[in-house]
């Protein structure tokens, strides 16, 4: 859990880290923005769980291990966010964290949510529903202009920490607003340094399956201490009550755990924790420094080869204009290079992680 500190002075042993990810032996995997590569340790952790469940059933031993590993995963995610585990909920995805916040704020007529027009569907979809069903006003402004666009009715600003289309960063001036801020951390959690107090947000939703290399169905939601008791818990169930046997007298758990997803399986939690440990062993800060460095290098190489790069920040995403993104994506896939197109845009996007190296970038350039 304390791996972040010493790592700041050492570099990643890239060759050793690379060997932990079997997929890298086959392809230039540059798509952590969809799902990260799975480390060997995750596969082993999953296999152990399935064997336990098959041979002993899913009884006391399964649930005891699950309970303990959930708290270890919460602490792991807290260390990624530089947060207190008390303020971290375990979710199944960034999107689940986003909807938990949007549902729990009890917004209604007269309230306005300010967002950017090119945010992910996991944010815009539920915002549209709030507009339709609860008469919440939804107004958009470009990500960089959000701080100046806040108005008297703005009850929430909701946007990416790192834009999923371009890799641009949320403007620093968001930190000074006197309005709650929900950051969508899908493309930032594990990828870039996160300083919650500098960001000035009230809520931070993140993914476990992208730069943290865990299974689908892993994720987190950080809720600031100021909102700990205020955000309505709309997903209460057995796992997030302090005394589930108390019936109608049962109270939500203290802290963000009251927003935990209801049915996280040991088959998910154990591999997610194993993936985190693989990265933490290499040093999280060093892992992030290497990943952002590789992205900057890729942007240089692409610009040098005449591609038009979408304006980006110090992130792990590089997007460039393509005449036919789907065709180009498929051509790259056939050459063993995995990137993605971004539907509704003229862009192709590559994601870098510390597990990548120059050879992956060269394969992409060569295949283009």
Q: Which of residues 141-170 bind a second copy (CB under 8 A)?
A: none
Q: Which of residues 248-307 bind a second copy (CB under 8 A)?
A: 248-252, 261-268
Q: Which of residues 51-90 bind a second copy (CB under 8 A)?
A: 53-60, 62
Closer residue to a second copy (CB): 116 or 286: 116
Closer residue to a second copy (CB): 267 or 277: 267
User: Are 189 and 164 contacting, i.e. CB atoms less than 8 angstroms apart?
Assistant: no
- SS3 letters for 74-110? HHHHHHHHCCCHHHEEEECCHHHHHHHHHHHCCCCCC
Which one, of 309, 20, 26, 313, lies nearest residue 191 by Cα? 313
Residues 170-209 as x/- pattern, contact with a second copy by CB under 8 A: ---------------------------------------x
Rounded to 5 degrees, φ, ψ at 181 are -125, 125
Closer residue to a second copy (CB): 2 or 26: 26
What DSSP line would sit under 190-232, residue for residue? TTS---HHHHT-SEEEEESSSTT---TT-EEEEE-GGGTTTS-
Query: Is 137 one of the binding residues for a second copy (CB under 8 A)?
Result: no
SS3 state at 324: coil
SS3 content of the chain, % helix, strand, coil (to 5): 45, 15, 40
Q: Which of residues 344-363 bind a second copy (CB under 8 A)?
A: 344
Q: Which of residues 6-35 bind a second copy (CB under 8 A)?
A: 22-23, 26-27, 29, 31, 34-35
What is the Cα–Cα distance from 322 to 112, expressed in whole angstroms? 36
Closer residue to a second copy (CB): 43 or 296: 43
User: Are 94 and 125 contacting, i.e. CB atoms less than 8 angstroms apart?
Assistant: no
Window of 131-139, 282-290, 291-299, 356-364 that interacts with a second copy by CB under 8 A: 131-139
Query: Is 308 one of the binding residues for a second copy (CB under 8 A)?
Result: no
The correct pick among 1, 6, 11, 50 for binding a second copy (CB under 8 A) is 50
At closest approach, how far in Å is the CB of 305 from a second copy?
A: 24
């Amino acid at each position: 859990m304390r791996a972040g500190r010493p790592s700041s002075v050492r570099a990643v042993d890239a060759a050793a880290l690379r060997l932990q990810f079997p997929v890298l032996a086959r392809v230039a995997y540059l798509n952590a923005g969809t799902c990260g590569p799975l480390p060997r340790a995750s596969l082993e952790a999953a296999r152990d769980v399935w064997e336990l469940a098959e041979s002993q059933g899913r009884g006391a031993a399964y649930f005891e291990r699950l309970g303990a590993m959930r708290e270890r995963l919460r602490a792991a995610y807290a260390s990624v966010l530089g947060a207190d585990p008390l303020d971290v909920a375990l979710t199944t995805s960034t999107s689940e964290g986003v909807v938990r916040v949007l549902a729990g704020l009890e917004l209604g007529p007269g309230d306005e949510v300010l967002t950017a027009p090119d945010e992910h569907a996991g944010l815009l979809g539920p915002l549209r529903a709030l507009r339709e069903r609860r008469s919440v006003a939804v107004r958009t402004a470009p990500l960089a202009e959000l701080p100046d666009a806040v108005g008297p009715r703005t009850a929430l600003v909701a946007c990416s920490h790192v834009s999923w289309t371009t890799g641009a960063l949320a403007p620093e001036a968001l930190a000074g607003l006197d309005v709650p801020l929900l950051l969508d951390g899908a493309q930032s959690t594990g990828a870039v340094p996160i300083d919650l107090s500098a960001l000035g947000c009230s809520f931070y939703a993140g993914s476990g399956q992208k730069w943290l290399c865990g299974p689908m169905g892993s994720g987190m939601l950080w809720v600031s201490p100021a909102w700990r008791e205020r955000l309505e818990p709309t997903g209460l169930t057995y796992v997030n009550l302090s005394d589930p046997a108390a019936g109608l007298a049962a109270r939500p758990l203290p802290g963000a755990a009251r927003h935990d997803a209801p049915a996280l399986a040991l088959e998910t939690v154990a591999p997610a924790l194993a993936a985190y440990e693989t990265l933490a062993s290499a040093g999280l800060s060093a892992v992030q420094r290497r990943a952002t460095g590789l992205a900057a290098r890729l942007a240089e190489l692409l610009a040098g080869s005449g591609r038009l790069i979408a304006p980006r920040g110090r992130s792990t995403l590089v997007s460039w204009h393509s005449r036919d993104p789907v065709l180009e994506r498929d051509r790259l896939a056939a050459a063993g290079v995995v990137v993605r197109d971004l539907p509704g845009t003229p862009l192709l996007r590559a994601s870098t992680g510390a597990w990548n190296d120059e050879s992956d970038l060269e394969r992409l350039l060569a295949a283009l």
